[in-house]
């Protein structure tokens, strides 16, 4: 019976293999971060995709709520964008040792078509690492 249990449990398990971050790479202490910009058929604003890997043997706190986002419109004005988070889920969470995660977040405040360039400050994402501004910029994400 125990063997049957083991087989049943094993059959249900979906193994997880940490992936290397894609996009622009940043090392933030234990956290390797990849940032990519893209559009989406559903979302109105630009979307930033964060892929992160904890390379340490202990937890690392990932704080995506700390990200500052600035967009420059076609007239050259700078506008601060805010994460679209209708359910107020966005918060700092621990990432277990040697595991990874991905989140795609839409930022609102300027229509995507009006954005000439977009910059995100990811310096605060790894909550345990020293805080320093780390700006990553892209052209107009479509």
- Site of interaction with another protein (CB under 8 A): 1-6, 8-16, 40-43, 47, 57-59, 62, 83-87, 89-91, 93-106
> 90, exposed or middle or buried, with CB in 10 Å at 0-12, 13-18, 19+?
middle
Q: Closest approach of Cβ 66 to another protein, in Å?
A: 14
Minimum CB separation of residue 101 from another protein in Å reads: 3
Check if the beta carbon of residue 101 is closer than 8 Å to that of residue 18: no
Kindly tell me which of 62 and 140 has the beta carbon lying closer to another protein.
Answer: 62
Pick 35 or 133: Cβ nearer another protein: 35
Of the pair 3, 75, the CB lying nearest another protein is at: 3
CA distances from 90 to 33, 72, 73, 85 (A): 17, 24, 26, 7
């Amino acid at each position: 019976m125990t063997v049957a249990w083991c087989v049943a449990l094993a059959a249900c398990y979906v193994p997880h293999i940490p992936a290397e971050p894609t996009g622009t790479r940043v090392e933030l202490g234990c956290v390797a971060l990849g940032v990519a910009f893209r559009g989406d058929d559903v979302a109105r604003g630009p979307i930033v995709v964060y892929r992160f890997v904890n390379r340490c043997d202990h937890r690392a706190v990932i704080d995506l709520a700390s990200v500052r986002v600035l967009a420059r419109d076609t007239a050259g004005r700078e506008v601060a964008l805010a994460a679209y988070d209708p359910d107020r889920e966005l918060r700092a969470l621990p990432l277990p040792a040697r595991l990874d995660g991905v989140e795609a977040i839409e930022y609102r405040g300027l229509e995507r078509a009006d954005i000439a360039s977009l910059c995100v400050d990811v310096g605060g994402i790894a909550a345990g690492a020293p805080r320093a501004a780390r700006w990553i910029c892209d052209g107009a994400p479509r």
